[in-house]
Amino acid sequence: MSIRCAIFDLDGTLVDSLHDIAAAMNDALQINGLPVHPRAAYLHFVGEGVDVLTSRAIAPHTESFQVVLGSYRQAYAARLPGRTQPFAGIVPALDGLATAGLALAVLSNKPDAATQTLVQQLFSPSTFAIIAGQKDQVPRKPDPTAALAIAAQLQVAPGECAFIGDTSTDMDTAVAAGMTAVGVTWGFRSREELRNHGAQLLIDEPSDLLPQLLALRS
């Protein structure tokens, strides 16, 4: 089935946000008397939502979950957009996909308010038809509910959507939703992880997004 829609993960796929996530969480940990982590550790902490990020960052101090979560939310919101920027080559790739007639959307496990803020500040208002972050009433990725809702809103079949992301969570989401799983290797996880979780296509450079996604239309 020809691809008519591209749904993108945000962190590690469209934007390089690791510095701000790590800095905000380390601020939250330090404020609450817990040990901080090197930035590289956050490559494996992120991807499954703020609750999982917090649980991994505080381990084994589970009793501090709520207070650290609250501190992180405040520290991260105060920092936005901080040093977070689109990866080089992302903006022209998105412009090319939109010009070619693909409907574009964002689906992130980042809380919805932060997702909306980042996308609206870092991209043109006309780039994405739908922007969705994690909401309390909607299961987070890899549950396919939100991805399928985006397809329905855009009036395309799941099989006409490519789901593009940088973690196993994104690939699992694509597989569960019946969408084409596209892994990008410039983000937070390895080629092996993406491949092992069902990536049907791996893209190594943002500049390759346009030609490789358009090739899925044939």
Q: What pLDDT does 10 receive?
A: 98
- Do 5-16+84-215 and 18-79 agree at the fold level? no
DSSP code string of 126-154: TS-SEEEEE-TTSPPTTSSHHHHHHHHHT
State the pTM of this model.
Answer: 0.93
Asked if the model's pLDDT at residue 49 lies above 90, the reply is no
Tens digits of residue pLDDT in 138-197: 999 999 999 999 999 999 999 999 999 999 999 999 999 999 999 999 999 999 999 999
57 CB neighbour count, 10 Å cutoff? 27
Residue 18: what residue type?
Answer: L
Tens digits of residue pLDDT in 58-102: 999 999 999 999 999 999 999 889 999 999 999 999 999 999 999
Mean pLDDT of 127-143: 95
Which residues partner with 203 through β-bridges? 184
Give residue 20's pLDDT band: very low, low, confident or very high (50, 70, 90). Answer: very high
Give residue 218's pLDDT band: very low, low, confident or very high (50, 70, 90). Answer: low
> What are the residue ranges spanned by the domains of the chain?
5-16+84-215, 18-79
Q: For domain 5-16+84-215, give the fold.
A: Rossmann fold (3.40.50)
Give residue 48's pLDDT band: very low, low, confident or very high (50, 70, 90). Answer: confident
Tens digits of residue pLDDT in 114-123: 999 999 999 9
Give residue 47's pLDDT band: very low, low, confident or very high (50, 70, 90). Answer: confident
Q: Provide φ and ψ at 108, rounded to 5°.
A: -125, 155
Asked if the model's pLDDT at residue 7 lies above 90, the reply is yes
Asked if the model's pLDDT at residue 217 lies above 90, the reply is no
Tokens 């991805």 appear where? 147
Asked if the model's pLDDT at residue 1 lies above 70, the reply is no
Q: For domain 18-79, give the fold.
A: DNA polymerase; domain 1 (1.10.150)
Q: Provide φ and ψ at 212, rounded to 5°.
A: -75, -40
